[in-house]
Amino acid sequence: MDDAKLLLQVDELTAGYTRAVVGPVSFLVCTGDVIGIRGPNGSGKSTLLNAIAGSAKIFSGRVSKRPGLRVSHQQQSALPLDNVPLSGQELLGLTGATSESLPLWIKPHVKRRLDRLSGGQLQFLQVWACLKAPVDLILLDEPTNNVDPPGVEHMAEELARMRESHATMVISHDQRFLERVCTRVIAL
Amino acid sequence: MILNFGVLIDPLFRLPFLTGLLFASVLPVLGMYLRLRQEWLAALAFAQVAAAGSLASSILGLPAQAGALACAGGAAAAKSWIARSGNNGYAVLMIVGWACAILMLANVPIAEQLGHALFDGQLYFTGVGHLIIALLFLGVTAALLPWLSRPLLLERVFPDFFQASGRSALRYHLLFDLLIAAGLALATASIGVWAAFGLVFVPSMVAYRIGQSWKASVWIGAGFSLGAYLVAFAAALLFDQPFGPVLVITLATIAAIIWLVLAVLRRRKASSITAES
């Protein structure tokens, strides 16, 4: 293993909220990795990403991040908009995501309010805001939910393009998507 | 009734007009971010506490704005503790602030004139000091808000964005809390409790509904507020009415008209879609 590429080390981690729901689990994440996480409902896939992002409680073990590691986290739940008048373009601007390689089908919609987009359009922009943010590690939780096949295809292509310079962890029930984009898969 | 239009250009009202104009431009913008954090009740709580602080300091012979700032600042500093009980904490703060203010009004004659100004919203007692402080506050807000805007918005849509990278957004939230407490304290001391709260609450409510983007909504909120302020200021002078209630009624009336127009447009759009299909 190339130490210079090591971004994250997870050792015997058990994590949850009021009680542990995942673990113990251990793995390393290096630049170039696209790690799939699969498992049945309730196996703690989202909790694992939340623990890495710092929003779930670590009961034992540890998560060691490279100093200065920049992380983006697309959560499975829809963006908590509640009538906030934010446009797609502004959402991308907030995370510092570039809109250059956005697919043509979404480009006409980026100036619209997020709460007036379809579920699939909103999901795609939410994923894009995390995917294209200037970060080292990208955490994606069910990124393909509600997204049409062209959008899923574009995500897969973008993940492949970004592999050299980033690491990604992806939760998905879409087995074909995981097989296509991941360099390895962790089963919970 | 004969209307005296001359009062509109009376030099006596220039300072109050300018002071109110500054608050009418800045409070709705702060209201956008308060609504973003779903904390509009906090605004009313800060305004009521600031009013009580104003009265207490005037009784003690201190400048009213100093007391307003100290009390609202104290409430903002204790906000993380108050916020644990959600809106309950703000509601208690609001009614306690109101009760203290009314008791001071009832028992200390010296507080009576200021009390009426605070609760009736009599803008016309403001002077050069109020205008200078309003200008300073506008300058501080204009300098800080562009820096605070991105983290506040980011925290709303991606709540763990900073935490995931081992960073904290606490300093942004604390600074905004202090800004909002100072804004409401100063505005309360100048234009009264309910006028200040109305400028925070109503324009942002309309802007959230009709803006097509955050930037556009901020401009809509500020424009709506300034328009309503001009109408209310003129109406209050022409009809010799207390400014605060006139402003609140003007804000609510314009909001209701906008709501009505939107409802009509929506109905027309729906019927044209039905006709086409």
**Of the options 3.40.50.2300, 1.10.287.610, 3.30.300.90, 1.10.3470.10, the CATH number for the domain spanning B5-276:** 1.10.3470.10
Contacts of B166 in chain A (CB under 8 A): 54, 65, 69
Tell me, rounded to whole angstroms, the distance of Cα B220 from its chain centroid.
15
Contacts of B167 in chain A (CB under 8 A): none
Rounded Cα gap, residues B152 and B200, in angstroms:
17
Give residue B83's pLDDT.
Answer: 61
Question: Are B214 and A139 within 8 A, CB to CB?
Answer: no
Question: Are A85 and B208 within 8 A, CB to CB?
Answer: yes
Residues of chain B with pLDDT under 50: none
Question: Are B163 and A53 within 8 A, CB to CB?
Answer: yes
- Write out pLDDT tens, residues A7-45: 899 999 999 998 988 879 999 999 999 999 988 888 889
Largest CA distance in chain A: 47
CA atoms within 13 A of residue B172's CA, in its CB half-sphere: 18
A135 touches chain B (CB under 8 A): yes
Give me the amino acid identity at B172. Y
Using CB atoms, pick whichever of A72, A80, A112 lies closest to residue B161.
A72
Structural domain spans, chain B: 5-276
Q: Tell me which residues of chain B have a C-beta less than 8 Å from any C-beta of chain A.
A: 36, 38, 150, 153-154, 156-161, 163-166, 207-209, 211-217
Question: Are A54 and B166 within 8 A, CB to CB?
Answer: yes
Nearest-CA residue of chain B relative to A134? B165
User: Looking at CA atoms only, how far is residue A68 from chain B in angstroms?
Assistant: 7
Helix axes A88-95 and A119-131, enclosed angle (nearest 10): 20
Residue with tokens 């250009």: B9
Give residue B84's pLDDT.
Answer: 59
**Nearest CA to A140 among A15, A17, A45?**
A45
Parallel, antiparallel or unpaired: strands A57-65 and A71-74: unpaired
What's the predicted TM-score (pTM) here? 0.88
Give residue A127's pLDDT.
Answer: 93
Rounded Cα gap, residues B195 and B19, in angstroms:
13
**Nearest CA to A94 among B213, B227, B262?**
B213
CB of A181 closer than 8 Å to CB of A36: yes
Give residue B86's pLDDT.
Answer: 60
Give me the amino acid identity at A163. R
**Exposed / middle / buried, residue B263 (Cβ in 10 Å: 0-12, 13-18, 19+):** exposed
Number of neighbours of residue B254 by Cβ within 10 angstroms? 19
User: Looking at CA atoms only, how far is residue A139 from chain B in angstroms?
Assistant: 10
Question: Are B156 and A111 within 8 A, CB to CB?
Answer: no
Give residue B126's pLDDT.
Answer: 77
Q: Which of A50, A87, A123 is the mutation pick for testing B, counting most B CBs within 10 A?
A: A87
**Exposed / middle / buried, residue B60 (Cβ in 10 Å: 0-12, 13-18, 19+):** exposed
DSSP calls for chain B: ----GGGGG-GGGHHHHHHHHHHHHHHHHHHHHHHHTT-HHHHHHHHHHHHHHHHHHHHTTS-HHHHHHHHHHHHHHTHHHHGGGTHHHHHHHHHHHHHHHHHHHHH-GGGHHHHHHHHHT-GGG--HHHHHHHHHHHHHHHHHHHHHHHHHHHHHHSTTHHHHTT---HHHHHHHHHHHHHHHHHHHHHH-HHHHHHHHHHHHHHHHHH-SSHHHHHHHHHHHHHHHHHHHHHHHHHTT--HHHHHHHHHHHHHHHHHHHHHHHHHHHHHHHHHH-
User: Looking at CA atoms only, how far is residue B51 from chain A in angstroms?
Assistant: 30
Question: Are A73 and B36 within 8 A, CB to CB?
Answer: no
Question: Are B214 and A130 within 8 A, CB to CB?
Answer: no
Give residue B81's pLDDT.
Answer: 67
Give residue A1's pLDDT.
Answer: 57
A143: preceding bond cis by omega (within 30 degrees): no
Give residue A188's pLDDT.
Answer: 83
Nearest-CA residue of chain B relative to A89? B213
Q: Is residue A178 helix, strand or coil?
A: helix
Q: What is the number of CB-based contacts under 8 A between chain A and chain B?
A: 81
Contacts of B34 in chain A (CB under 8 A): none
Q: Is residue A21 helix, strand or coil?
A: strand
User: Looking at CA atoms only, how far is residue B84 from chain A in angstroms?
Assistant: 18
- Write out pLDDT tens, residues A70-86: 999 998 887 777 789 99
Start-to-end C-alpha separation, chain B: 55
Q: Can you tell me the mean pLDDT for A45-64?
A: 91
Task: Report all structural domains of chain A as residue ranges with CATH numbers, in order of start.
Answer: 3-187 (3.40.50.300)
CB of A52 closer than 8 Å to CB of A27: no
Helix axes B112-120 and B243-276, enclosed angle (nearest 10): 10
Contacts of A131 in chain B (CB under 8 A): none
Q: Is residue A50 helix, strand or coil?
A: helix
Contacts of A69 in chain B (CB under 8 A): 165-166
Chain A, window 89-118: residues with a beta carbon less than 8 angstroms from a chain B beta carbon? 89-91, 94-95, 111-113
Question: Are B213 and A53 within 8 A, CB to CB?
Answer: no
- Write out pLDDT tens, residues A137-183: 999 999 998 899 999 999 999 898 888 889 999 998 888 889 889 99
Bridge partners of A187?
Answer: A38
E-assigned strand segments in A31-149: 34-38, 57-65, 71-74, 137-141
- Write out pLDDT tens, residues B215-250: 999 999 999 999 999 999 999 989 988 888 999 999
Q: What is the DSSP letter of A78?
A: P
Number of neighbours of residue A4 by Cβ within 10 angstroms? 8
Residues 6+ apart with CB under 8 A from A2: A30
Give residue B107's pLDDT.
Answer: 85
Rounded Cα gap, residues A187 and A15, in angstroms:
16
Q: Which of B37, B163, B165, B220 is the mutation pick for testing A, counting most A CBs within 10 A?
A: B165
Question: Are A84 and B36 within 8 A, CB to CB?
Answer: yes
Parallel, antiparallel or unpaired: strands A20-30 and A137-141: unpaired
Nearest-CA residue of chain B relative to A82? B36
Give me the amino acid identity at A144. T
User: Looking at CA atoms only, how far is residue B148 from chain A in angstroms?
Assistant: 12
- Kindly list the distances between the CA atom of residue B124 and the CA atoms of A5, B190, B191, B196, in Å, as whole numbers in the listed order: 67, 9, 8, 15
User: Looking at CA atoms only, how far is residue A59 from chain B in angstroms?
Assistant: 18
Q: What are phi and psi of A24, to 5 degrees?
A: -75, 145
Question: Are A135 and B165 within 8 A, CB to CB?
Answer: yes
H/E element holding A169? strand A167-171
Give residue B275's pLDDT.
Answer: 74
Question: Whole-number mean pLDDT of chain A?
Answer: 89
- The helix/strand count (H/E) of chain A reads as 5, 8
